[in-house]
Amino acid sequence: MTRRVRPVRQGTGPRPAARYALRAAALAVALALWQVLSGRDVDLWLRFSQFPTVADVARAFAGRVTGPDYWTDLTESLTRILTGFLLAAVLGVAAGVLVARSRLAEDLLGPLLEVVRPIPAIALVPVAILLFPSNEQGIVFITCAAAFFPVLVSTRHAVRALTPVWEEAVRTMGGGRWRVLATVVLPGALPGVFGGLSVGIGVSWICVISAEMISGQYGVGYRTWQDYTVVDYPGVFVGMITIGVLGWLTSTAVELLGRRLTRWLPRTSYVPGARPRTGRPAAPVSPAATAVPAGPAGPAGPEPEEARDEHLVRD
């Protein structure tokens, strides 16, 4: 435990590159395995005979990317998710603050929100069809509903957990309700809010794709389902990969924005389980130091993010 080392933030020479190589190699191995299993039509209990090979998928991908529909689908899906997610962010933060700060709002909105919250957003499809004149609006509604609750809940918790002296300090400086809101509540709740936003963007993707599969007319989810119904399996995989990459990019964007806006959070000056600084020492790193995973941090937990997100900032 005594050999915690300060992370070296400046370029550490080949190390980040080595880690990149490792990641790329892991991906390559997975792809190679896929190619072998599907190329040789392996049929042990799991059946790969119908499975498209990596080469099939790559060919299909190349065809799609140069075709007309792919980019339309992509922008459709992105527009839907961004509209729904941004709406959810604004509404979720507003409702969360309101419920946390006002007893009246809590009494009025609380029961309603608690009853609607357990309903999976995708189960709202019939409601969306009844309510909205067009499919498009229905999909955005479902996406928004999906992200709304994680944002609401984490905002509510974050606002309730604010240190009371901050508010007392601002009030004794002559700050009223709105100043307390602007200078204490919103900035102070931001770390928690971003926890909710990170969860929300993930759930949003699930719901936008599902909703597109049910009722879309363009969009990555719609296309993937279409390919499935016409037995175009490489096309299905192209859709899945597209969803994966888009989801990854958007959640990374949320994460980066969150880190940027909450840079004031005190962070530990060392990375738990970080690699040693200079040349791998012969002495093994104590298990306690390496065992601390850079695993999923609590939404608002500031410290482990340092480790979890290092690939975002350093590499």
Partner 1 sequence: MSTSSETEARAAAVPRPPARGTRLTLRAAALGRPDAPAVTGVDLDVAPGEILTVVGPSGCGKSTLLRTLAGLLPPLAGAVEQDGRPVDGPAADRALVFQDDALLPWRTLRANVELPLAFRGVPRAARREQAAAWLERVGLAAQAGQLPHRVSGGQRQRAQLARALAGRPRAVLMDEPFGALDAQTRAGMQELLVEVLHGTGATVVFVTHDVDEALFLGDRVALLGAGRLTAVRDVPRPRDRSAHDDPARVALRRDVLTSLGT
Binding site for partner 1 (CB under 8 A): 163, 165-166, 168-175, 179, 183-184, 187-188, 190, 262, 264-266
Cβ at position 267, least distance to partner 1 in Å: 10
User: Quick one: 155 or 204, whose CB is closer to partner 1?
Assistant: 155
Q: Which amino acid type is present at position 99?
A: V
**Cβ-count burial of 293 within 10 angstroms (0-12 exposed, 13-18 middle, 19+ buried)?**
exposed
User: How many Å separate Cα 77 from the centre of its chain?
Assistant: 16
Q: Are 83 and 201 in contact (CB under 8 A)?
A: no
User: Quick one: 16 or 175, whose CB is closer to partner 1?
Assistant: 175
User: Quick one: 126 or 266, whose CB is closer to partner 1?
Assistant: 266
Cβ at position 181, least distance to partner 1 in Å: 13
Cβ at position 264, least distance to partner 1 in Å: 4
Selection from 124, 151, 150 nearest residue 138 by Cα: 124
- The CA–CA distances, whole Å, from 101 to 85, 95, 98, 180 equal 24, 10, 5, 11
**Cβ-count burial of 271 within 10 angstroms (0-12 exposed, 13-18 middle, 19+ buried)?**
buried
User: Quick one: 172 or 229, whose CB is closer to partner 1?
Assistant: 172
User: How many Å separate Cα 24 from the centre of its chain?
Assistant: 22
Cβ at position 269, least distance to partner 1 in Å: 11
User: Quick one: 206 or 265, whose CB is closer to partner 1?
Assistant: 265
Cβ at position 193, least distance to partner 1 in Å: 13
